[in-house]
Each structure stands twice: as C-alpha cells, then as structure tokens.
Amino acid sequence: MIVVQRAPEPGGAGGFYRAFGETLRGLKTTFGRLVEGPQTYQYPEEKVPVYPRFRGRHRLHRFEDSQLEKCVGCSLCAAACPADCIRVVSAENTPEHRVSAGERYAAVYEINLSRCIFCGYCEVACPFDAITMGHDYEMSDYNRSDLIFTKEMLLAEPLERTPLRTESE
C-alpha cells in the first residue's frame, strides 16, 4: 500500500501563515547570501586554476638537451583526430637540416582550434609524446583563420601561464 504524503492544502488562515512563514525563511536565505559575500571569480584578472590533467590548448615539445623536435611527422595524431582538425605534412631529415630526432619531421603541423573538440586522442595516439594537451583555455580570437595554430605557435611557450590547482584544492 502506497501512502502518499501530501502537503497541506493551500488557502485558509493556516495556508496564509505557512506562505508567510516560508516567505520569511526565503528572505533569510537570500540575506544569508548577501552577508556571505560574492563567490565569483573576477575572471580576466583572476583565473580559475585548472587541474593537472585539464585538456587545454595543444603543445608540441622539443627534447630538452638537443632542442630537436619530438614530432617525427607520422600523422598518427591526424588519423586519430575525430574532428579532423590536424594537418601534418612530413619531410625527410637531412644531415644538414636536422629538425627532429627521427628520420622524418613535420614540415607543416597545423591544428585548427576552431574545429578541435579537446578530446585528447592525439595525445594518446602520439608514439613520442610530441603533442600534449596544455593548460591554456583562453583561445578566443577575432578571425577564424587566426585560430589555425601553426607548428611555431604550438612549439612556443604560452605567453601567460594558466594557474594550476594545488594538491589541497
């Protein structure tokens, strides 16, 4: 047997009293928020720290010691990309012109960030950890063409560091 517990019927003196009391309770609640103060981040000045595994804008990496690019132009990332936003054109390394550590290197490496869905499959697909998802999330621009990031842009250090969340946060 299902017993339905209903709220008291509205109307009448009791209903008026309850409505008034509930209104007062609501007023108290909102006043509490006023006393508490704002909970918001003042965004452009104050950035929300991200978690270490946050998937932001991609970055390409070099070897620390030799400064050679890790990317060998294998196009696995482009193949893995579900949004089809990565374009890789590879070229052969020559002894005079050595760019990467492998046989080939990426002559053109472009990511169209207006198509990217930040799934991180490229990062997983990469056999050399050449591409990783960084922490930058401020990527708005005035032109769509400016959102196509070239290899130089992806290799460069970001201008502003996105704050990282600490362990305790």
Partner 1 sequence: MTAVFAVVGHAEAWWIQIVKSLILFIVGFSLVPVALMMDRKLLGRFQGRYGPNRVGPLGALQPMADIAKLISKEQFRPRTSTGFLFALAPAISVLTASATFAILPFGDVVDIFGAKVGLYGVDVSIGILFAFAFSAISFYGLMLGGWASGSRYSFLGAMRSAAQLISYEVSMGLSLLGVIMTAGTLSLTGIVNAQNGMWYFIPQLVGFVIFMTAAFAETNRPPFDLPEADAELVGGYNTEYGGGRFASYYAAEYFNMVIASGLAVTLFFGGWLLPFGIHPPHWVDPFVVLGKTILVMAFFVWIRATLPRLRYDQLMSLGWKILLPLATLNALVTAIIVVVTHS
Tell me how far, at minimum, the Cβ of 22 lies from partner 1, in Å. 10
The least distance separating partner 1 from the CB of residue 162, rounded to whole angstroms, comes to 22
Residue 37 CB, nearest approach to partner 1 (Å):
8
Residue 89 backbone dihedrals phi, psi, to 5 degrees:
-120, 120
Distance in Å, CB of 79 to partner 1, minimum: 45
- Contacts of partner 1 in 19-58 (CB under 8 A): 23, 26-27, 29-31, 33-34, 36-40, 42
Residue 95 contacts partner 1 per CB under 8 A? no
Give the count of residues interacting with partner 1 (CB under 8 A).
Answer: 15
Nearer to partner 1, 27 or 164 (CB): 27
Binding residues vs partner 1 (CB under 8 A): 16, 23, 26-27, 29-31, 33-34, 36-40, 42
